[in-house]
Amino acid sequence: MTLGLLALFFAALPHPQLPFTVDATEDVAAEFPGVPRVQSFSFAQWKGRWVIIGGRMAGYHSVGGGPAEFLRSDGNREIWVVDTTQHPARTYHAPLDSLPSNLALVKDQWAAIAQLYYQDGPDLYIAGGYGEDHTGKWVTFPVISRVHLPELIDGVMAGHVPTQSIAVTRTPLVQSAGGGLLKLPDGYFYLVMGHSFQGSYTTFEGQGEHNHDMASQTYLDEIRKLKIGLSEGGLKVSLVDKFTDETEFHRRDLNVAHMLSPQGLGIAIFGGVFTPETQLNYSKPIYLSAGSRPFVDSGFEQKLSSYSCAKLLLYDRGIGAMYTTFFGGISRYSWNADTGQFIENPKVGDKVSPVYRDGLQWSDQISTIESVSDGAKTVTSELANPSSLPAYTGADAVFVPSPAVARAYPDTDILDLGSLTDRKTFVGYIYGGIRAFPNRFPYNKTAEPYNSGAVPTKASDLILKVYVQSVHVK
């Protein structure tokens, strides 16, 4: 079936249905004693052992009466290893402060929030991130570091940080927070958007959110194609190409993921904030493959999960369809299962009004974007999953795929949908992120919602098992 006929086929369906269902209601946090509660961190997995670096051990900043600043005291200042090969899982950690003075750059950067990271086989790359450095300044770090995971894991499990496993360098090419970092088969890394924030949030708000010498915010507005390698014990970074778009690339806190199609491995970019005029989300997906320019799908509007959240990736070889499933986070719309419609969230008042709704609300919904490509064009559609999450969670969380599930492409997190059966199959965990409580007592969906900016939040205390079950589309 050609792409055009396939698009017409899906458009003609009265009630579109995914070829699988997702369940993420089982909380197994009790099976992970001692695991940190953290959000917006760097993550890797090596032979069943999780590595957690950086992030924030508190809720969403400046919400529900919390501090606007990303305080050093709220940062994750430990390197964590979680051994999931044991049951229950066993947790190890080592302090960043044990790093020597010649790794001061790493010590500061690894405690940052909103780092860009990518696991390349046994190595974890961490770029940028925002936080308070050892001098007390809030900066977006012009730093990229690489750590060899097998050595790091062995060291932390033995109670120390093996410094020989770390390489680092300074470069403005990676000075970003809230963007994405991926590598494609052409051997290059792609640094996707984000922003550079300098100074404190309190000062920035006091300036009416206008740039000044004391505090400033600059969006990258581009995707950078980078060559990254080792050089005299450190890292060397050079700019190969860049793609700039001040309209559609003006994004941060977005979802960036690998995408597979019959043409090979590429990158898909979804959501992100904030649109300059309305202070809302971006809704048009962007697709990028090696050797080509980014393509903005202007004919599609994403409704759910506009903010960085946990993502499950599945690929169906039979029809060449890529499925990116989003868990909760923050959304511009909600899905009404009774009417079968996406409902736009209200935008009411402002920060000083008795009732204030900014249009971007915490979500407990699960949704999937299907992308079908023939190389010349990509057809995108969005479907809501019938079940929801057990809480308003998922923002700045990660999906940890099970090593036992077959991959559709080697050394990626893209799972092979064809390897799953019509039985409920465990495919991974949702870990970390923010848990929000958007409704007042008695805290259910019919209760009065808090005003935007006043919602109580915390680093999530849940670890959710995710199951997928194949279904036959009629």
> Does residue 279 register a pLDDT over 60?
yes
Q: Would you call the peptide bond into 249 cis, given omega within 30 degrees of 0 as the criterion?
A: no
pLDDT of amino acid 473: 53
Measured distance CA(322)–CA(327) in Å, rounded:
16
> Does residue 474 register a pLDDT over 70?
no
Measured distance CA(468)–CA(16) in Å, rounded:
18
The mean pLDDT value for 188-203 works out to: 96
Angle at the Cα of 341 (from 335 to 343), degrees rounded to 5? 60
Convert the pLDDT of each residue in 307-318 to its tens digit: 999 999 999 999
The mean pLDDT value for 47-62 works out to: 92
Quick check: 333 and 345 in contact, CB under 8 A?
yes
List the single range of 11-15, 19-23, 127-131 with lowest mean pLDDT: 11-15
> For the chain, how big is the Rg over CA atoms in Å?
21
3-state SS of 279-345 is: CCECCCCEEEECCCCCEECCCCCCCCCCCCEEEEEEEECCCCEEEEEEEEEEECEEEECCCCEEEEC
- Phi/psi of residue 363, each to 5°? -125, 150
List the single range of 100-109, 283-292, 367-376 with lowest mean pLDDT: 367-376
List the single range of 39-48, 392-401, 436-445 with lowest mean pLDDT: 436-445
> Does residue 367 register a pLDDT over 50?
yes
pLDDT of amino acid 66: 64
> Does residue 413 register a pLDDT over 90?
yes
The mean pLDDT value for 84-102 works out to: 96
> Does residue 2 register a pLDDT over 70?
no
pLDDT of amino acid 65: 58
What class has domain 18-470? mainly beta
The mean pLDDT value for 316-340 works out to: 95
List the single range of 2-11, 147-156, 310-319, 398-407 with lowest mean pLDDT: 2-11
> Does residue 123 register a pLDDT over 90?
yes
Measured distance CA(201)–CA(68) in Å, rounded:
6
Measured distance CA(179)–CA(308) in Å, rounded:
9
pLDDT category of residue 74 using cuts at 50, 70 and 90:
confident
N- to C-terminal Cα distance for the chain?
16
Pair of tokens at residue 306: 């506009």
Quick check: 37 and 57 in contact, CB under 8 A?
yes
Quick check: 164 and 137 in contact, CB under 8 A?
no
pLDDT of amino acid 10: 37
pLDDT category of residue 202 using cuts at 50, 70 and 90:
confident
pLDDT of amino acid 354: 95
pLDDT category of residue 321 using cuts at 50, 70 and 90:
very high
Those residues whose C-beta lies under 8 Å from the C-beta of residue 378, and which sit 6 or more positions away, are 261, 287, 295, 297, 371, 372
List the single range of 58-72, 244-258, 391-405 with lowest mean pLDDT: 58-72
> Does residue 15 register a pLDDT over 60?
no
Mean pLDDT over each residue of the chain, to the nearest integer: 93
List the single range of 23-27, 71-75, 298-302, 369-373 with lowest mean pLDDT: 71-75
Convert the pLDDT of each residue in 414-440 to its tens digit: 999 999 988 999 999 999 999 999 999
> Does residue 384 register a pLDDT over 80?
yes
The mean pLDDT value for 59-84 works out to: 82
pLDDT of amino acid 307: 98
- Residues comprising the chain, all counted: 474
> Does residue 7 register a pLDDT over 50?
no
Measured distance CA(275)–CA(294) in Å, rounded:
19
Pair of tokens at residue 172: 């403005």
The mean pLDDT value for 380-403 works out to: 97
List the single range of 134-143, 269-278, 324-333, 369-378 with lowest mean pLDDT: 369-378
> Does residue 285 register a pLDDT over 60?
yes
pLDDT of amino acid 3: 46
Domain ranges of the chain: 18-470
The mean pLDDT value for 396-421 works out to: 97
Pair of tokens at residue 1: 């079936």
pLDDT of amino acid 50: 98
> Does residue 6 register a pLDDT over 80?
no
